[in-house]
């Protein structure tokens, strides 16, 4: 499991993330919610070893993440940043195959095992129909599924996703989140995802962590978190929570 033990992050004497204590277990989707600048991306970058902890520790399977080698860590943790690098002139299958780098290095030759892992990732992500097209020619939802397939090819147990729905319309958002939910359930992954849409978070996540001004303001199941008072404290404006028409989760609207 991932365990955050009093982890903080400071820049030039300014504390961007105050001490966080939390455990993230396999088989669940954890949604990080809150307004812009609340510390969501900072926390996920600490988990991904993209920036060092100022104080406290982030533990993976009982060891500080700083003790893990880069490739050893990447075999267990896959990270999709908010701003994706260019995939110009790459076909989907080539991009997906980059997920195998922790197992042989970027310049190593692909083994039959690597090729099989890529094919499994394509099948799991349902990207067969466009895996051989240029990534730049794909729709937003298709492109995001190819990036997710790359993470699946990495065969990591923990997926860290920083705003994977950015710039997607609502149909593609639901498509991507439904896929993540399915993969989490089938493969028993731990998914930690930064989300801005509280209603999407309520529908697809098992647990929500709300950050505000660099602090964890509240955490719990969507049923526990989706109350008028809690959401008003998180977002700073009156909110009304009501049952979704399907009766399976709650939704919120700003008043």
* pLDDT, tens digit, 9 for 90 and up, residues 81-131: 988 888 889 999 999 999 998 987 556 678 889 999 999 999 999 999 999
pLDDT confidence of residue 183? 92
User: How far is the C-alpha of 242 from the C-alpha of 253, rounded, in Å?
Assistant: 8
Q: Is residue 222 part of a domain?
A: no
Domain of residue 123 covers 86-155
Sign of CA pseudo-dihedral 168, 122, 27, 44: negative
Output the pTM of the full model. 0.93
Q: Which helix (H) or strand (E) holds 48?
A: none
Quote the pLDDT of residue 82: 87
Tally of structural domains, the chain:
1
pLDDT value of position 85: 83
Q: Is residue 71 part of a domain?
A: no
Report the alpha-carbon distance of residue 146 to residue 80 in Å, rounded: 12
* Phi, psi values for residue 109, rounded to 5°: -80, 140
The DSSP 8-state label assigned to residue 87 in this structure reads -
Q: Helix, strand, or coil here: 244? A: coil
Q: Which has more pLDDT, 109 or 21?
A: 21
Per-residue pLDDT at 107: 65
Domain-embedded: residue 234: no
Mean pLDDT over the full length of the chain: 92
- Contact between 159 and 105 (Cβ < 8 Å): no
What is the pLDDT confidence band of residue 249, given thresholds at 50, 70 and 90? confident
The pLDDT of residue 198 is above 80: yes
- Asked if residue 113 is part of any domain, the answer here is yes
The answer to whether residue 111 sits within a structural domain is yes
Residue 46 covered by a domain: no
Within a domain: residue 119? yes
Is residue 103, in this structure, part of any structural domain at all? yes
Q: What average pLDDT score do residues 41-62 get? A: 95
């Amino acid at each position: 499991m991932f365990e955050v033990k009093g982890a903080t992050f400071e820049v030039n004497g300014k504390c961007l993330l105050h001490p966080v204590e939390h455990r993230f277990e396999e088989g669940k989707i954890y949604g990080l919610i809150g307004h812009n600048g609340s510390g969501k991306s900072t926390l996920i970058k600490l988990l991904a070893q993209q920036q060092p902890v100022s104080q406290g520790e982030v533990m993976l399977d009982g060891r500080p993440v700083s003790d893990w080698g880069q490739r050893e860590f990447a075999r267990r943790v896959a990270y999709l940043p908010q701003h994706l690098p260019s995939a110009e002139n790459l076909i989907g299958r080539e991009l997906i195959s980059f997920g195998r780098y922790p197992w042989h290095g970027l310049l190593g030759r692909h083994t039959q095992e690597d090729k099989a892992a890529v094919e499994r990732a394509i099948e799991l992500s349902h990207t067969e129909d466009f895996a051989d097209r240029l990534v730049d020619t794909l729709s937003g939802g298709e492109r995001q599924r190819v990036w997710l397939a790359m993470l699946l090819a990495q065969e990591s147990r923990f997926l860290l996703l920083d705003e994977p729905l950015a710039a997607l319309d609502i149909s593609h958002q639901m498509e991507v989140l439904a896929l993540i939910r399915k993969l989490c359930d089938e493969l028993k992954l731990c998914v930690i995802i930064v989300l801005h849409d509280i209603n999407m978070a309520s529908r697809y996540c098992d647990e929500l962590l709300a950050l505000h001004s660099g602090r964890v303001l509240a955490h719990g199941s969507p049923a526990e978190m989706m109350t008028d008072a809690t959401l008003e404290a998180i977002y700073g404006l009156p909110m009304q929570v009501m049952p979704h028409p399907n009766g399976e989760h709650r939704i919120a609207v700003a008043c």
